[in-house]
Amino acid sequence: MHAFPLIEYSARRARLVALVVDDALHGKGVGRVLVEAAEEQARAWGCRDLEITSSRYRTGAHAFLRGLATPTPASRRRAS
């Protein structure tokens, strides 16, 4: 995860580029806890939001990300 300034706003955005959970742990809340920790870190860095990227072929990851709670101040932006 990293953070960078936004040119169009006087704010920063965090980007989570890799989130992998072992298949044996799917459905046990591990991914949700990791995303929540990433959001917490984004807030600590003063980021406006959290962008989570995912490769187009990771359809399971896209479904997981869509199932997360509504965005928070450091929010989930997209899965692409």
| Centroid of chain to Cα 37 | 9
- For 27-55, the pLDDT digits (tens) are 999 999 999 999 899 989 988 888 888 88
Which of residues 72 and 41 earns the better pLDDT score?
41
Contact 52, 68 (CB under 8 A): no
Residues 49-70: what's their mean pLDDT?
82
Confidence at residue 78, expressed as pLDDT on a 0 to 100 scale: 41
State the pLDDT confidence band at 13, using cuts at 50, 70 and 90. Answer: confident
| pTM of the model as a whole | 0.75
What domains sit in the chain, N to C, each tagged with a CATH number? 2-66 (3.40.630.30)
Report how far residue 6's alpha carbon sits from residue 29's, in angstroms, rounded to the nearest whole number.
31
